[in-house]
Amino acid sequence: MSERIALSALEDTPSLPLQACELSYVVGERTLINAVDLTLLPEVITVLMGPNGAGKSVLLQLLHGLRVPTRGQVLCAGQPLTTAHRLRQAMLFQQPVLLRRSVAANLDFVLKLRAPEDRHAERNRLLGDVGLLDKARQPARRLSGGEQQRLALARVLAVRPRVLFLDEPTANLDPASTALIENVVRRVHQAGTKVVFVSHDAAQGQRLADEVIFMNHGEVLEQTAAVHFFDAPTTRSARDYLAGKLVF
Q: How many CA atoms lie within 13 A of 44 on its CB side?
A: 19
Angle between the 145-157 and 119-129 helix axes, to the nearest 10 degrees? 140
C-alpha to C-alpha distances, 87 to 5, 142, 145, 229, nearest whole angstrom: 13, 29, 27, 32
pLDDT at residue 37, rounded to an integer: 98
> What is the amino acid identity at position 81?
L
- Between the alpha carbon of residue 157 and those of residues 98, 185, 223, the distances in Å are 14, 10, 27
The CA angle 121-123-127, to the nearest 5 degrees, is 115
DSSP 4: H
State the helix-helix crossing angle for 145-157 and 175-190, rounded to 10 degrees. Answer: 10
pLDDT digits (tens, 9 = 90+) for 161-215: 999 999 999 998 999 999 999 999 999 999 999 999 999 999 999 999 999 999 9
Selected from 3.40.50.150, 3.40.50.300, 1.20.120.80, 3.40.190.10, the CATH number assigned to the domain covering 14-88+161-248 reads 3.40.50.300
Ranges 103-112, 116-125, 154-163, 235-244: which has the least confidence = 116-125
Per-residue pLDDT at 3 exceeds 50: no
**What pLDDT score does 117 carry?**
75
CA–CA separation, 234 vs 228, rounded Å?
A: 9
How many angstroms separate the Cα of 70 from the Cα of each of 3, 27, 73, 74, 77? 31, 9, 9, 12, 21
Q: What is the pLDDT of residues 134-165, one digit of tens each?
A: 999 999 999 999 999 999 999 999 999 999 99
Please state, in angstroms and rounded to a whole number, the distance separating the CA atoms of residues 101 and 110.
13
CB 10 within 8 A of CB 90: no
Domain boundaries, the chain: 14-88+161-248, 100-160
Phi, psi of 174 (to 5 degrees): -70, 160
181: Cβ–Cβ under 8 A, 6 or more apart, which residues? 130, 149, 150, 153, 169, 170, 173
Task: Provide the 3-class DSSP secondary structure of residue 10.
Answer: helix
Angstrom CA distances, 156 to 28, 37, 96, stand at: 33, 27, 11
- Map residue 11 onto helix, strand or coil: helix
pLDDT digits (tens, 9 = 90+) for 17-62: 999 999 999 999 999 999 999 999 999 999 999 999 999 999 999 9
- Contact between 229 and 238 under an 8 Å Cβ cutoff? The reply is yes
